Structure 1
Amino acid sequence: MKIEGKVVIMCRIIACVLSLFLMLISCTEKIERVSKYPDLLNEAVDTIAYSQFVDSIKYIPLETTDACLIGNITDVEISEEHIFVLDLQMQTVWIFSRDGKYQGHVFHKGDAPGEYVNMCQFEYDESNRQIVILDLWTHSLLFYTLEGKYLKSIGLEISAFDFKILPSGGYVISLAGADNKEAGIYYLDASGKVVSQLVGRNQEHLIYMNSDWDLCSIKNEICFMAPNLDNEVYHFDGTELDTIQSFCMKPEIKHSYKGNVSLEHMEDFVRTRYIESEKWLFAAYWCAVFDLRYFLYSKAADEYLIGKYLKNDLDGVQCSGKTSMTKENTFLFWCAPEEDRNPILQILYLKK
């Protein structure tokens, strides 16, 4: 009995050791999956081809009429019934049907009640059928009907460059590109009051860099990869902030940026674009010395691509700009049309 008892004890010890060993392996694998070290210089190929990450392409020409001539596409959102085009040059949100037919627009630039001074982003609240416009100058959100009728305004407790409406209520706003101590990503309640700072900015990285957007949406979560000199990917559902991926980009940052600096001779890479879909992540990096690098990461394959150029090798139509739209595992780019015509949307259905 004593021998049998010793055997049982030994077996339990061995089982505990094996269990601990497996836990350590699991933790190690998790760390390896989370932490990656892409080298924007030494791993970059000349060209990333569409066929490496795109399954198919769909085009939607945006109708040109006497009442609708887009100055420049800044961002796009597609709902179940409509296409919305943010045009900062014209300070307008253009509205089209899903097949690109012009339906109307929202333009209320001014300083009177119900008007915005400097539109910098927008959202379509599909559940309430409202267009929400962010006014950079007055730090407020203005709400309009699809017909352009003004409904209300909400003052924000902190200024913002970008925002997203949380399905669970409230807003996520970005001030990540500012060169001050308030720079970061914030969670605001429905009245515009700050609930919490989700991510602050490294005080050594206060270079001013205002992108067209910092935030993306995937289902019920707001996604971001910010601030501009950091490369962690976060998801926020209104309750939990999760770090999904951490990219330790090479080469490492050489300089500190505690205030206004000129970008003309900048040696370090700064992120200028971020787009995230269900299966893919896209980022663009730029520095004055080495110019541009594109970074594409497949979540499913856990692999990345780095290149100096993007090339459409599927049908040869090159894009002229990108948007933050990523519904149903797509990227939405746009192509410049002939003169005096509106752009053409290029929907990239991404590989799974």
Structure 2
Amino acid sequence: MRLSILFLILCLFSACSTHHESNKLGTIDFEQGLHEKNHFDLKDRVTGIKYIPFETKEECMLSDIRNIFKVQDNYVVQDTEYVYMFDPSGHFIRKVSTKGKGPGEYELLVDVQCSQNEIFLVSLGKILVFSATGDYTRTIPLDDLRLQAMSIDNEGNFYFIMPDKTQKKEITSIDLIHIYDKEGHFIRKVESKVVRHEAGLAYYNNIMNIDGVGVAYKELFGNVIYSINKNTEPDSLFVLSLNDSFFKKADFNRSKRHIWGDKYLLLDVFNTPKTNIFKLQKGLIKPTHEYLVFDKEKDKIHRPLFDENKLGLSCDGIKMHPVNQTGKTLLFTVDPEYLEALTEKNPNIKLEEDCNPVLAVLTFK
């Protein structure tokens, strides 16, 4: 099984612009957050919630959901092999593209991103572009087959993360991000500041986006979050205090496999007006996901509890997992173990056995 680690993240903190303008970096203490547990319910932070069961039928059986996007009024869902489109009520509309070698088809689905009006599928050496209704419109050729996970900025430029291979001691930097314009022309690259070497392993990385923010990233073994400004140059935004609970360079050695199950990686950040939600990965081989919540008003971070001291995020006692964000709206999937509780609280929701996931659309205050 290929070992995958996500080490680039996107985030926007409400205080980021202030810290950047004053050239002073704020610090968020993740180590403290792991030891601080408080009851937290998303219901107290939202103005509205809508549950949308994705239709369950043979031609749209979802496996492991990688991402969900809202494109105009519809929802575009990426799983491990395909991209599906559902209407606002969750009814299946169509697949977006399919496997093949013809126009608008892909041999390998590498990544998916969406804008307000277009859908972008990354395959080997190309970006397939589709309209908001899922119709194929054009192909953007790329000059490097290694270009993998992708993000898009507000100008329509594409950001690709390069695969990070084991480096020799004498290597002082590696190509981290390659930036292309909307026509697929190379603009520039961003090099890493923290270099991994002697790990004995190869990693495949990811890059994500939050609507209206632009691109930002954190290097795997660094503790600074960088944004990429309008000049496509990195700016330092925030310092994270990670300490011993998080993976360090020395931990990526096969002789230390016994500790891999207890260490954390930071995967993603979801920004709301009053709260930042940090998604963590615990372990490598069979990873699990946990969360930290940063209260901007109280300037405190903690692990969220619900339902008699269970770890995780919930809304009105229903456990759920964040997937993507558009402005103040966050998209979650309901935890499968809480589908019965969901239907008890919402009798109008009818679910079949072995049904597709249920989308929860939360609008934050």
Report TM bin, short chain.
Answer: 0.7 to 0.9
Residue of structure 2 in register with 1:70 after alignment: 62
* Correspondence for 1:348: 362
Partner residue in 2 for 1:230: 222
1:110 maps to which of 79, 85, 100: 100
Q: Which residue number in structure 1 is paired with residue 126 of structure 2?
A: 140
> 1:235-283 CA distances to partner (integer Å, 9 max, x unpaired)?
3354254332221212277853598758843458342520332532423
* Equivalent residue number for residue 11 of structure 1: none
Aligned to 1:244: 237
Give distance in 2, aligned partners of 1:296 and 1:330.
Answer: 17
Match of 1:164 in 2: 151
Map of 1:275 onto structure 2: 269
What is aligned with 1:305? Answer: 302
Structure 1 residue 59, shift from structure 2 partner:
1.4
1:204 maps to a residue whose letter is R
Is 1:123 paired with 2:113? yes
1:72-100 superposed Cα distances (whole Å, 9 cap, x missing partner): 31100113321110111xx2211112232
Aligned AA (1:276): F
Aligned to 2:141: 154
Q: Distance in 2 between matches of 1:94 and 1:32?
A: 44
Structural mapping, 1:1-352, within 5 Å: 34-39=26-31, 43-46=34-37, 49-51=40-42, 54-55=45-46, 57-88=49-80, 91-126=81-116, 129-135=117-123, 138-145=124-131, 146-149=133-136, 151-157=138-144, 159-175=146-162, 179=166, 182=174, 184-200=176-192, 202-204=194-196, 208-210=202-204, 213-219=206-212, 221-239=213-231, 241-251=234-244, 256=249, 261=254, 264-266=257-259, 269-279=263-273, 280-287=276-283, 293-299=290-296, 301-306=298-303, 309-312=311-314, 314-319=315-320, 321-323=321-323, 325-335=324-334, 336=336, 338-350=352-364
Q: Where does residue 14 of structure 2 map in the other structure?
A: none
Say whether the 8 Å CA contact 1:157–1:194 is kept in structure 2: no
Deviation at 1:46, TM superposition (A): 5.0
CA contact (8 A) 2:266 2:278 kept: no
Mark the CA change 1:298 to 1:104 in structure 2 (over 3 Å): closer, same or farther: same
Give the superposition deviation at 1:119: 0.8
Letter in 1 for 2:121: I
CA distance in 2, matches of 1:288, 1:162: 19
Larger mean CA deviation between 253-262 and 328-337 belongs to: 253-262
Q: CA RMSD in A?
A: 3.8
Question: Matched residue of 1:159: which SS?
Answer: coil
Distance in 2, matches of 1:229 and 1:53, equals: 35
In structure 2, relative to structure 1, the CA distance for the partners of 1:112 and 1:133 (3 Å cut) is: same
TM score, norm. by length of structure 1: 0.72
**8 Å Cα contact 2:140/2:183 also seen in 1:** no
For residue 282 of structure 1, give the secondary structure of its aligned residue in structure 2: strand
Residues 104-152 of structure 1 deviation map (CA, whole Å, 9 limit, x = unaligned): 11132134454222212212233xx3321012xx232112343443522
Q: Distance in 1 between matches of 2:54 and 2:85?
A: 10
CA distance in 2, matches of 1:297, 1:107: 39
Aligned pair count reads: 313
Cα distance in structure 2, aligned partners of 1:166 and 1:330: 19
- The amino acid of 2:207's aligned partner reads D
Larger Rg: 1
The Cα of 1:344 is off from its aligned counterpart by: 0.6
Name the structure, 1 or 2, with higher relative contact order (CA <8 Å, separation 6+). Answer: 2
TM-score, normalising length: structure 2: 0.70
**Counterpart-to-counterpart distance in 1, 2:221 and 2:194:** 9
- Cα separation, 2, equivalents of 1:124 and 1:147: 11
Whole-Å Cα distance in 2 between the matches of residues 246 and 342 of structure 1? 39
Given the superposition, is the C-alpha separation of residues 334 and 112 from structure 1 closer, same or farther in structure 2, using an over 3 Å criterion?
A: same
State how far apart, in whole Å, the 1-side matches of 2:253 and 2:93 are. Answer: 43
Counterpart CA distance in 2 for 1:44 and 1:255 is 19
Counterpart secondary structure, 2:326 = coil
Give the 3 Å change call, closer, same or farther, for CA 238–50 of structure 1 in structure 2.
same
Higher mean Cα deviation, 225-234 or 97-106?
225-234
Q: Does the 8 Å contact 1:85/1:93 carry over to 2?
A: yes
SS at match of 1:304: strand
Contact 1:48/1:305 (8 A) holds in 2: no
Percent identity among equivalent residues? 17
